[in-house]
A and B are shown apart, each in its own frame.
Chain A
Amino acid sequence: MKDVKVYGPGCKRCEKTEEMVKEAAAKLGIEVSVEKVTDPRAIAMAGVMSTPGVSVDGKLVHTGGLPDSGKLEGWLSA
């Protein structure tokens, strides 16, 4: 079970990122728990300066803009 967090205040791109994570996980057959972090303080403390950001199992893998779906699959299966 991968623990994925999507950091963002709730803008459109953050929602889209969350969907992309779920799609990628479904495609790979990986079980994930996706948590959306919307508190600005928590976002900042995680080291995310431009949203949306994505972390997998506590490791920050992406910040700023929509992630590339190919890379996203790579992070999830790593």
Chain B
Amino acid sequence: MSVTQHETPHGGMPGWAWSVVVAAGLVAWWVVYHQLPALSEWIVSLLPVARDTHTGEALAFFFYDVPKVMMLLTLIVFAMGVVRSFFSPEKTRALLSGKREGVGNVMAAGLGVLTPFCSCSAVPLFIGFVSAGIPLGVTFSFLIAAPMVNEVALILLVGLVGWPVALVYLGFGLAIAIVAGWVIGRLHVEGWLQDWVRDIHSGATTPGAVESDDLSMTDRYRLGLEAVREIFSKVWIWIIVGIAMGALIHGYVPQDLMVRIMGSGTWWSVPAAVLMGVPMYTNAAGVIPIVEALLGKGAALGTVLAFMMSVIALSMPEMIILRQVLKLRLIAVFIGVVASGILAVGFLFNALF
């Protein structure tokens, strides 16, 4: 964890010193991470509750997951901050312009994972893409993949649920982004953009781009730290709430009830999970502890994946932001297509496993 504590003024350390500090930080991280189970048992043993009660179970879950999630996040967000400094929306746009649908959808989904993206710049990014002549469907592939298949979601899945589920999520998240974008492209709904966006699209004005400057490795490390600081200032509350919910489910919800409601034998549980997910707004960090607890109690994987994808990919605040560039009809299409994809994944999984 020591990596994050190093606050150096601009130009304070040479590049090699950064690399040494990063390497030392990784070792320290590894050592601390492996002590976490013992640490959580120790904390719970200090509390005046018996370990084998509902409360004890819930507390042990909470005190184990909070530091674990925080540590995993620190590591991966730092690493992705560095990796993402090699990508930018401008570069992604250059890579995607001139690509046909199909290939373009696949590339857009992949780049959506790697390109720095914040839902607050969804609108300028959308316009930047569309004005460069990138097909609408390809733009949507990017916009669906960027928030849904991100490093926070993947690493938390690896850490809390295991890597097979994480791989499944990665694969099917990308598949939904590719297919949903392609379907939206096929529908030819360019007329359902807001009028001013269409004017830009038709080539009336093409915004220029800033020249990108070369970054040193030190700059990239600093961007990694910046990403860590940003994620902690923004998402820690979701993590705490998510883990607390997970802990309650883990400690109190009876297993047979969960299997009855969210088990694979209940066909309506997938659509119900998707419907429940839409108005819920949290990010991956908040929802995955809940996913962990649900799976632990015997909920079906397809149902839980559908719930998680719906929470992350279809959020009300993002729809409100996109309303500035899309007419309501197109937003409805967007929700409909993505929700259908999520349903398909949910049913498929429940049928297969």
A interface residues, Cβ below 8 angstroms from B: 7-9, 11-13, 40-41, 43-51, 53, 60-66, 68-71
B118→A44 contact, CB < 8 A: no
A64→B226 contact, CB < 8 A: no
Which B residue's beta carbon lies closest to that of A40? B123
A9→B120 contact, CB < 8 A: yes
Q: Beyond the given A47-B208, A51-B118, A63-B90, could you list 11 further A-B residue pairs with CB under 8 A, ordered by the A residue number?
A: A13-B230, A40-B324, A43-B124, A49-B121, A50-B117, A50-B121, A60-B209, A60-B210, A62-B210, A68-B10, A69-B10
Best-buried of B11, B205, B207, B226 by chain A (most CB within 10 Å): B207
B120→A44 contact, CB < 8 A: no
B223→A65 contact, CB < 8 A: yes
Residue in B118, B131, B196, B324 whose CB lies within 8 Å of A50 = B118
Per-position binary interface string of chain B over residues 216-252, scored 1 when its CB falls under 8 Å from any chain A CB and 0 otherwise: 0001000100100010010000000000000000000
Distance of A14 Cα from B73 Cα, bound (Å)? 24
A49 to chain B, nearest CB (A): 4
Asked if B116 is at the interface (CB within 8 A of a chain A CB), the reply is yes
B223→A49 contact, CB < 8 A: no
Distance of A69 Cα from B324 Cα, bound (Å)? 32
User: Which residues of B from 35 to 58 have beta carbons under 8 Å from A?
Assistant: none
Asked if B125 is at the interface (CB within 8 A of a chain A CB), the reply is yes
Chain A hits for B121, CB < 8 A: 9, 49-51, 64
Asked if B97 is at the interface (CB within 8 A of a chain A CB), the reply is no
Given A50-B118, A62-B210, A66-B226: A44 in contact with B89 (beta carbons within 8 A): no
Per-position binary interface string of chain B over residues 81-121, scored 1 when its CB falls under 8 Å from any chain A CB and 0 otherwise: 00000001110010000000000000000000000111011
Asked if B127 is at the interface (CB within 8 A of a chain A CB), the reply is yes
Best-buried of A11, A40, A70 by chain B (most CB within 10 Å): A40
B222 to chain A, nearest CB (A): 8
B interface residues, Cβ below 8 angstroms from A: 10-11, 88-90, 93, 116-118, 120-121, 123-125, 127-129, 131, 196, 200, 205, 207-210, 213, 219, 223, 226, 230, 233, 324-325
Distance of A26 Cα from B341 Cα, bound (Å)? 53
Distance of A78 Cα from B101 Cα, bound (Å)? 43
Residue in A11, A40, A43 whose CB lies within 8 Å of B118 = A11
Distance of A61 Cα from B22 Cα, bound (Å)? 30
B118→A47 contact, CB < 8 A: no
Distance of A51 Cα from B129 Cα, bound (Å)? 15
Chain B hits for A12, CB < 8 A: 233
Chain B hits for A51, CB < 8 A: 118, 120-121, 124
Q: List 13 A-B contacts (CB under 8 A).
A: A47-B128, A47-B209, A49-B124, A49-B125, A49-B127, A50-B117, A50-B124, A53-B210, A60-B208, A63-B88, A68-B219, A70-B10, A71-B213
B142 to chain A, nearest CB (A): 12
Given A11-B118, A64-B88: A40 in contact with B124 (beta carbons within 8 A): yes
B261 to chain A, nearest CB (A): 38
B219→A65 contact, CB < 8 A: no
A46→B120 contact, CB < 8 A: no
